[in-house]
Amino acid sequence: MFKKGVSGNVNGRPKGSISEKTKVWNEIGEWFINDGMESYKKNLQKMLLSNDTALALEAMKRFEALIEFFKPKLSRSEIKAEVETITNIDLSKYPTENLKDALRISDKGTDSSGTV
């Protein structure tokens, strides 16, 4: 195997050129869309309508596998968010001296208006 930049083509493949693998896949796709689709549909319908449950299940698996090429599965996403909660506390039942001490201790937790 060649090392990067040491092969016979130091500039690499030209922009926009298509690899052989992609060309083959494109040809298969064209054939399937133009000629193979009808045959595929007929076979699937025959399998689905048969009295054989295993054959019908196989038809659904094949259909599912094929459909993922056209409509890929959506990936799961995790959303994380910080939620600010505001809690109302009735301070009327606490002695004033205790509240002043508590405010002095949590002075770092106050905003510019002085509220905790």
pLDDT in tens, 52-76: 999 988 888 888 888 887 777 777 7
Residue 111 in this model has a pLDDT that exceeds 60: no
Indicate if the alpha-carbon torsion angle 51, 52, 56, 62 is positive or negative. Answer: negative
Rounded to two decimals, the pTM is: 0.38
Concatenated DSSP letters for 20-79?
Answer: HHHHHHHHHHHHIIIIIHHHHHHHHHHHHHSS-HHHHHHHHHHHHHHHHHHSPPPPP---
Q: Is the pLDDT at 37 greater than 80, yes or no? A: yes
pLDDT of residue 8: 67
Query: What does the mean pLDDT of the chain come to?
Result: 79
Is the pLDDT assigned to residue 85 strictly greater than 60?
yes
Q: How far apart are CA 59 and CA 65, in angstroms?
A: 10
Q: Residue 22 pLDDT > 70, yes or no?
A: yes
